[in-house]
Chain A
């Protein structure tokens, strides 16, 4: 009972503090849409000098993009539509991204070629890399064999 009261008091205090800080926040929001069209693999640091400068879409960007998205997704959405993310991070998908975009071989798209057999090895080596996309969703095809 005492523990529950402490939790409720802490929550109320947190909400009050949040409300005060929100009332005092007067920052200008980022543009909802990038003011000029960005094509190809942009070098954000050509124009930006703050945290966005770190988001240069160089060849090694794909391995780090999850960290940026987990902290500042609103920065991603300035240029990318939600569909850009859901092409790979899907709830239920029957077509591999690499099948939908065969005309973009330069993109880092997962599961090219005969991945049905290759996944037996990759899945043993590092199952944690499968789990974010196929752990709780987008695993209807997994269940065909893994019942």
Chain B
């Protein structure tokens, strides 16, 4: 229903545009997939997917465009009797009409839009607008109906917010943002935030965000990174974050984040300190290490560390691998992970081999080692059309032997009015 509303809103605008410019272009990608897989209850599934994204640019006075992305699925094997679920599904990821001015980066998006700005990381059916202002100020605002799961019910569902920013290009940008959401006429989110990017001197960057929950009157989370380098091909990232669970996990649409009843205390607080070191040995080889320490107010502390290596020879071939360790405070929260992969391009064909092993310290369903090995291959039929097939074999606590196949057909299209397009 919502999808129809969006299309009803956008299509008339497209049709009423005062004549299209001769340079109007249509580009995008069609990804057709067919997967063979087995559900945990042993049911065989054979879903067929079509993912389509397209962009119509330079409509009207060359400042209007239309963006669309969505997918649909139809299960070629009828399991409706066993599962009671529909054979088909679909989703509209985004669909909006966009105006982008030639001055001041003024943007107005109308339709299903993803707003990722300040405290907002939300998808909504509505409007988003932003513009630069004089004196290096900037402002943005959005409003509409939130696009979530399982909240379609009577009453008002609305979300709106704004952000004001100031910057000195290359030196800093600071933003203040606000968001309010109502679900079924009840106020479920009221958030205020401050975001910062600062580069006081060359090779030093500080960035992050703090969010205040105005309903509980507490800071919900702080998340900052200090990036240093490169110093003789070495880059350092220091991560610092703090999350206050009862103020952060609000308005969830799944019970898992309500922690009630659950194994996680809803009053928990966690502080994370991490350090990542990345070293480019040369243009082809990179070595990196990451360490994270989790300190909880209630639960026992945990650490995660990993080391990885990546070697790439342009686009022709490459290889890499990693070793990691998650160490929670009890055996069942510990595992080691190992990964090695390689890929190569041979003319119009390419191939990939990927092996991943996870060793759980405490067996799950009497299984401690879970691994998967994947072989993927693809061939470019033409410059715009590619076919591929993946084969994945795995063994894990849920499957003694799991074989999955994945077939894909990828078609890129780019059509400019007045020019011949297609494959």
Q: Which of A18-51 contact B (CB under 8 A)?
A: 18, 20-30, 32-33, 39-40, 49-51
A29-B102, A114-B396 are contacts. A60–B121 as well, Cβ < 8 Å?
no
Q: Which of B347-393 contact A (CB under 8 A)?
A: 350, 352, 354, 356, 358, 360, 364, 370-372, 374, 376-378, 388, 390, 392
Which B residues lie within 8 Å of A40 (CB)? 315
Q: A18 to B141, alpha carbons, bound, how many Å?
A: 12
Which B residues lie within 8 Å of A143 (CB)? 149-150, 254-255
Output the least CB separation between B339 and chain A (Å): 8
Q: Which of A77-110 contact B (CB under 8 A)?
A: 81-83, 85-86, 89-95, 99-100, 102-106
Is A57 part of the contact surface with B, judged by Cβ < 8 Å?
A: no
- A-B pair number, CB within 8 angstroms: 285
Q: A27 to B138, alpha carbons, bound, how many Å?
A: 12
Which of B123, B302, B406 has a CB less than 8 Å from the CB of A91?
B123
A93 (CB) vs chain B CBs: closest residue: B91
Q: A136 to B120, alpha carbons, bound, how many Å?
A: 12
Is A7 part of the contact surface with B, judged by Cβ < 8 Å?
A: no
Is B208 part of the contact surface with A, judged by Cβ < 8 Å?
A: yes
Which of A30, A106, A125 has a CB less than 8 Å from the CB of B318?
A106
Q: A106 to B340, alpha carbons, bound, how many Å?
A: 10
Which A residues lie within 8 Å of B276 (CB)? 60, 63
**Are A136 and B253 closer than 8 Å at their CB atoms?**
yes
Q: A69 to B173, alpha carbons, bound, how many Å?
A: 13
Q: Which of B88-104 contact A (CB under 8 A)?
A: 89, 91-94, 100-104
Which B residues lie within 8 Å of A147 (CB)? 255
Is A124 part of the contact surface with B, judged by Cβ < 8 Å?
A: yes
Is B148 part of the contact surface with A, judged by Cβ < 8 Å?
A: yes
**Are B370 and A74 closer than 8 Å at their CB atoms?**
no
**Are A29 and B100 closer than 8 Å at their CB atoms?**
yes
Which of B106, B209, B378, B394 has a CB less than 8 Å from the CB of A70?
B209
Q: A131 to B122, alpha carbons, bound, how many Å?
A: 12
Which A residues lie within 8 Å of B248 (CB)? 128, 131
Q: Which of B389-404 contact A (CB under 8 A)?
A: 390, 392, 394, 396-398
Which A residues lie within 8 Å of B55 (CB)? 81-82
**Are B103 and A27 closer than 8 Å at their CB atoms?**
yes
Which B residues lie within 8 Å of A104 (CB)? 343, 352
Q: How many residues of A contact B (CB 8 A)?
A: 82
Is B73 part of the contact surface with A, judged by Cβ < 8 Å?
A: yes
A60-B276, A85-B114, A100-B33 are contacts. A91–B91 as well, Cβ < 8 Å?
yes
**Are A126 and B49 closer than 8 Å at their CB atoms?**
no
Output the least CB separation between B224 and chain A (Å): 9
Q: Which of B2-42 contact A (CB under 8 A)?
A: 29, 31, 33, 35
B326 (CB) vs chain A CBs: closest residue: A121
- Counting chain B CB atoms within 10 Å of each CB, the highest count among A29, A32, A69, A70 belongs to A70
Is B117 part of the contact surface with A, judged by Cβ < 8 Å?
A: yes
Chain B residues touching A, majority SS: strand
Is A8 part of the contact surface with B, judged by Cβ < 8 Å?
A: no
Which A residues lie within 8 Å of B148 (CB)? 136-137
**Are B133 and A22 closer than 8 Å at their CB atoms?**
yes
**Are A125 and B170 closer than 8 Å at their CB atoms?**
no
A103-B376, A139-B253 are contacts. A86–B69 as well, Cβ < 8 Å?
yes
**Are B310 and A59 closer than 8 Å at their CB atoms?**
yes
**Are A106 and B69 closer than 8 Å at their CB atoms?**
no
**Are A91 and B197 closer than 8 Å at their CB atoms?**
no
Q: Which of B123-170 contact A (CB under 8 A)?
A: 123, 130-135, 137, 139, 146-150, 165, 167, 169-170
- Counting chain B CB atoms within 10 Å of each CB, the highest count among A99, A114, A140 belongs to A114
Render B305-328 as a binary contact track against A, CB cut-off 8 A, 1 for contact.
000001010010010100000101
Which B residues lie within 8 Å of A49 (CB)? 170
Is A6 part of the contact surface with B, judged by Cβ < 8 Å?
A: no
**Are A116 and B398 closer than 8 Å at their CB atoms?**
yes
Is A13 part of the contact surface with B, judged by Cβ < 8 Å?
A: no
Which A residues lie within 8 Å of B100 (CB)? 29, 32
Output the least CB separation between B296 and chain A (Å): 9
In the A-B complex, the 3 residue pairs with the smallest Cβ-Cβ separation, listed nearest first, are: A21-B133, A146-B256, A24-B134
Pairs A–B under 8 Å by Cβ, sample size 8: A25-B133, A67-B208, A71-B165, A82-B55, A82-B114, A93-B91, A126-B294, A139-B149
List 6 additional contacts besides A70-B116, A140-B149; criterion CB under 8 Å. Answer: A26-B104, A29-B103, A40-B315, A71-B195, A104-B352, A138-B149
